[in-house]
């Protein structure tokens, strides 16, 4: 799972910006609209650095999951843009999300809300390549987590 700290915040924020711009344009949205997550994040930074870190982590995870469904050429362009800024490619970010799924399935338990939301997003993604057996297992894990949290 991603770990956003004071030390790496600016780096992850730049990754967030790149992912947001590509996803917004793909979905025919204005990336600089008044309701943009970039503006929300900037406003949150003024109020609370802790809340900004949490918001960045959550938003970044969402954008990585959204990016999984983008066409290959756009994913390549994202990877190229990230590389220009000295970051790992999109595939490495996607692998972090996929690793979370595999770790939770192997462990048989969701440990925290971050894992819960990753699994929930992946399960709700109609294009995901999760098997029916894994979907049943994820649903059971989500139900169990919701019962106790």
**Residue 4 within any structural domain of the chain:** no
For the stretch 37-54, pLDDT in tens is 999 999 999 999 999 999
Q: What is the domain extent for residue 61? A: 9-148
**Residue 90 within any structural domain of the chain:** yes
Helices (H) and strands (E) in the chain, counts: 7, 0
**Half-sphere exposure (Cβ direction) of 60: Cα atoms closer than 13 Å:** 27
Chain centre distance of CA 111: 17
**Residue 124 within any structural domain of the chain:** yes
- What is the pTM for the complete model shown? 0.85
DSSP string, 78-122: HHHHHHHTTPPPHHHHHHHHHHHHHHHHHHTS--SHHHHHHHHHH
Above pLDDT 90, what percent of the chain? 69
**Residue 13 within any structural domain of the chain:** yes
For the stretch 96-127, pLDDT in tens is 888 998 999 999 999 998 899 989 988 887 67
Contact status, residue 54 vs residue 111, Cβ threshold 8 Å: no
Q: What's the domain count of the chain?
A: 1
Does residue 1 have a pLDDT over 80?
no
């Amino acid at each position: 799972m991603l770990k956003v700290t004071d030390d790496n915040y600016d780096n992850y924020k730049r990754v967030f910006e790149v992912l947001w711009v590509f996803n917004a344009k793909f979905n025919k949205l204005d990336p600089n609209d008044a309701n943009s997550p970039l503006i929300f994040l900037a406003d949150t930074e003024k109020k609370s650095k802790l809340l900004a870190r949490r918001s960045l982590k959550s938003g970044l995870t969402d954008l990585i999951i959204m990016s999984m469904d983008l066409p290959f050429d756009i994913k390549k362009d994202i990877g190229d843009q990230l590389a220009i800024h000295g970051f790992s490619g999109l595939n490495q970010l996607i692998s972090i999300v996929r690793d979370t799924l595999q770790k939770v399935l192997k462990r048989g338990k969701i440990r925290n809300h971050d894992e819960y939301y990753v699994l929930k997003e992946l399960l709700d993604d109609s294009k995901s390549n999760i098997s029916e057996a894994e979907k049943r297992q994820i649903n059971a894990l989500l139900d169990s987590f919701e019962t106790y949290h």
